């Protein structure tokens, strides 16, 4: 089991101990509206999966026989993150996710051992979570101007970024559980009319930092080959032919994978070459540097 949050003397984790740890997969599943992100819940084991429903979009998975928690306010969202991820000793007792917060949540929800039956937590969606968080932030004293007493948008969005990053980071540190965060993907145009994709999250800070927090960023998209019918697939690697957001920290995935989240997790846990054997440091044949290196000033 991965080491949870804990205080105590410094301990060096040996290579054998680290290799024996059961590590959960932390990832973002994104895609345009209606592409079938929530439906990926059907590919997971219902007996070992907990569905955190913020979007009220369960119509797509109405027959799924698993457990669900419905979230409608930010206080409950934070309490659930503390309950799932455990206490963070770096926080004070009066701060979110600290020992005091965790104790209060366990007193209200029950012991965290109730969650031991779940291997995977499926959160749908972080787009809605950011809106709920923004609404909460607007009512906080920190979001009011000290001089005028009116709403301060800069302070509001600053608090939004802190809250969302803290929430996501705490979930990311959940020991030995898979955490999948579903998010809506927008297609936009830049100032030159060139299309690009970005996740639909309130505030810029969360969207910019989220890929660095999680292990996997997977985009569910529709691909249209020159011949044959269009099909849905996962785009999984940062360097891809479609300009879609993607990331594979694990190194086991191909650029395109079948649109089945359960099989994807099985492949992530599968064997791979050890060490530098899985890395290729050579440039393709015939590559020429775009600009000659300069030695001016050497």
> What are the Cα distances from residue 14, in Å, to 7, 148, 196, 249?
18, 56, 44, 22
At 50, list the tokens: 């907990």
Query: For residue range 214-271, what is the model confidence (pLDDT) as tens digits?
Result: 999 999 999 998 888 999 999 999 999 999 999 999 889 999 999 999 999 999 988 7
Give me the residue spans of the domains in the chain: 22-269
Instruction: Please give the class, per CATH, of domain 22-269.
Output: alpha beta
Q: Which helix (H) or strand (E) holds 31?
A: strand 26-31
- This prediction's pTM: 0.88
Query: For residue range 30-70, what is the model confidence (pLDDT) as tens digits?
Result: 999 999 999 999 999 999 999 999 988 778 888 899 999 99
Return d(Cα 216, Cα 250) in angstroms, integer.
Answer: 8
Q: From start to end of 98-251, where are the E strands? A: 120-124, 178-189, 195-199, 216-223, 231-235, 247-248
Of 83, 62, 87, nearest in space to 71 by CA: 83
């Amino acid at each position: 089991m991965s080491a949870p949050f804990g205080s105590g003397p410094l301990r060096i984790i040996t290579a054998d101990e680290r290799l024996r740890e059961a590590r959960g997969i932390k990832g973002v599943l994104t895609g345009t509206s209606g592409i079938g992100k929530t439906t990926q819940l059907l590919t997971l084991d219902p007996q070992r999966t907990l569905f955190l429903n913020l979007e009220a979009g369960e119509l797509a998975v109405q027959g799924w026989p698993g457990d669900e928690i419905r979230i409608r306010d930010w206080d409950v969202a934070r309490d659930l993150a503390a309950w799932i991820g455990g206490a963070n000793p770096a926080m004070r007792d009066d701060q979110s996710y600290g020992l005091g917060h965790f104790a209060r949540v366990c007193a209200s929800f029950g012991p965290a051992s109730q969650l031991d039956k779940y291997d995977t937590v499926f959160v749908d969606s972080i787009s809605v979570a950011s809106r709920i968080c923004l609404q909460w932030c607007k009512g906080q004293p920190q979001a009011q101007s000290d001089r005028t007493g009116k709403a301060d948008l800069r302070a509001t969005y600053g608090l939004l970024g802190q809250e969302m990053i803290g929430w996501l980071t705490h979930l990311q540190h959940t020991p030995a559980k898979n955490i999948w965060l579903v998010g809506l993907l927008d297609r936009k145009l830049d100032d030159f009319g060139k299309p690009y994709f970005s996740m639909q999250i309130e505030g810029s800070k969360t969207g910019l930092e989220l890929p660095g927090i999680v292990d996997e960023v997977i985009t569910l998209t529709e691909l249209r080959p020159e011949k044959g019918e269009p099909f849905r697939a996962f785009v999984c690697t940062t360097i891809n032919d479609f300009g879609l957001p993607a990331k594979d920290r694990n190194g086991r995935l191909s650029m395109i994978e079948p649109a089945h989240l359960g099989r994807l997790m099985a492949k992530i846990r599968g064997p791979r070459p050890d060490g530098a054997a899985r890395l290729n440091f050579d440039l393709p044949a015939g590559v020429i540097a775009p600009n000659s290196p300069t030695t001016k000033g050497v």
